[in-house]
Amino acid sequence: MTPVTWSASGDAPGKNRGLRVARTRVELERELAQLRSGGATVAFVPTMGFLHPGHLALLDRARELADRVVLSVFVNPLQFGPEEDLDRYPRSLGRDLELASARGAVLAFAPSVEEMYPGGPPRVRVHPGPGGELLCGAFRPGHFEGVLTAVARLFGLVRPDVAVFGRKDAQQVALVRQMVRDLELRVEIAVAPLVREMDGLAMSSRNAYLTPAERGSAPALFQALSAADMAFRGGEHRGAELEALVRRRLEASPEEGPDAPRLRLDYVQAVDSGTLDPVQAARPGHLLAAAGWIGETRLIDNVVLGADAPDPRVSMSGRET
């Protein structure tokens, strides 16, 4: 992974090299026609912006899969509940464009909400089915309906050959794949590895919300999942026991001390990575997924049980280990 400076806030200075920016559907259509001239293929990376090294890994993977890389930067209001963080979700478009350009993207679609949904909130939406009610869906009603509706609209606007998503959002990946199959959207879905910070915390734009004390406690979620994965590798394949091990680890006193912020677990579940169905007997390749809160920040994470290769870790300067 090419080193790239990563900062918690602020727009990046400088020009965006060869990156073109489309703000409207008309501009997007024109730019895509030019990109596809000569038969070039397009890889698409949908994002909500405030890019971090995890997003950059998606762009790296996209560049391997197609001739041209396109990303979107759009904070989708449909996937936020009434008490969630839509208004304060971190945004930094100038910095995002600079980072995406440095990673080889050639076109960014950055629409306003009015441009994305010109008639107001869409009347027809994509229902995620039973899988959208599991895991995070049980705690965020309507979230995945909003996600799939936006992704389907973006697929219709961009018409990519391949779209790249990250494994951190494993439930989203499974639901997008199901949507593509069921609606015959003719888009290949590729998954890039989950990228972690040096202490194991999964990269997320929302990590910027964490106070210093909360940031010190946040890796406890990954540490608990890792302990369960080690138990799996040691022969413990009962899904319920792997889940209980995570809970016990999180309930123990934090290494930072008894007064350190603790993670309040929403769920931990051993599931089939394709169907999201809970599993009683875990097998290699199944997911152990979890979500919880530290302070006012919600964290999600997962491990692939028995995975051959560890998740890559990247420092905040963008250097991979």
CB of 240 within 8 A of CB of 124? no
Tracing tokens 């015959």 back to the chain, one arrives at: 184
- Count of Cβ atoms closer than 10 Å to residue 223 Cβ: 17
Say if strands 264-271 and 287-294 run parallel, antiparallel, or are unpaired.
antiparallel
Q: Which residues are catalytic?
A: 55
All residues at 6 or more sequence positions from 89 whose CB lies less than 8 Å from its CB, including other chains? 48, 50, 75, 80, 205, 206
Collapsed DSSP state (helix, strand, coil) of residue 233 = helix
Phi, psi of 291 (to 5 degrees): -150, 150
Query: What type of residue is 7?
Result: S
- Rounded Cα gap, residues 277 and 117, in angstroms: 33
CA dist 226 → 25, 158, 314 (Å): 44, 38, 18
Tracing tokens 């790296």 back to the chain, one arrives at: 60
- Rounded Cα gap, residues 189 and 211, in angstroms: 35
Q: Which token pair is 50?
A: 């405030």
Q: Which DSSP category does 296 fall into?
A: T
Identify the bridge partners of residue 81 per DSSP, sorted by sequence position.
none
- Rounded Cα gap, residues 275 and 286, in angstroms: 10
CB of 151 within 8 A of CB of 128? no
Query: What type of residue is 90?
Result: P
